[in-house]
Amino acid sequence: MIDNPKSNPTGNAEKDPEDWVTGDEPMTGAQASYLKTLCEEVGEEFDDTLTKAEASERIDKLQGERR
């Protein structure tokens, strides 16, 4: 049976941000907004120059600090 990516919509969510094709692009507006909120919650400085991949990794790290 051929694996259909549409049958597993979370498959791409598990991809390492360093492997993202668009990882070098500027972070999205949604990432920036959420990251800014997380930074405020943990008392860290928000960096608006991060790439999509860097922002994703930073969000993961800060989410771990909130728990």
Q: Are 62 and 39 in contact (CB under 8 A)?
A: yes
The pLDDT of residue 16 is: 79
Per the structure, how many domains does the chain have? 1
Determine, yes or no, domain membership for 49. yes
Determine, yes or no, domain membership for 11. no
Determine, yes or no, domain membership for 15. no
Determine, yes or no, domain membership for 10. no
Does 4 have pLDDT greater than 80?
A: no
Determine, yes or no, domain membership for 3. no
Range of the domain at 57: 23-67
pLDDT band at 31 (very low <50, low <70, confident <90, very high): very high
pTM of the model as a whole? 0.69
Amino acid at 8: N
Q: What is the DSSP letter of 10?
A: T
The pLDDT of residue 19 is: 78
- Give 12-58 as a DSSP string: GGGS-GGG-TTTTSBPPHHHHHHHHHHHHHHT----TT-BHHHHHHH
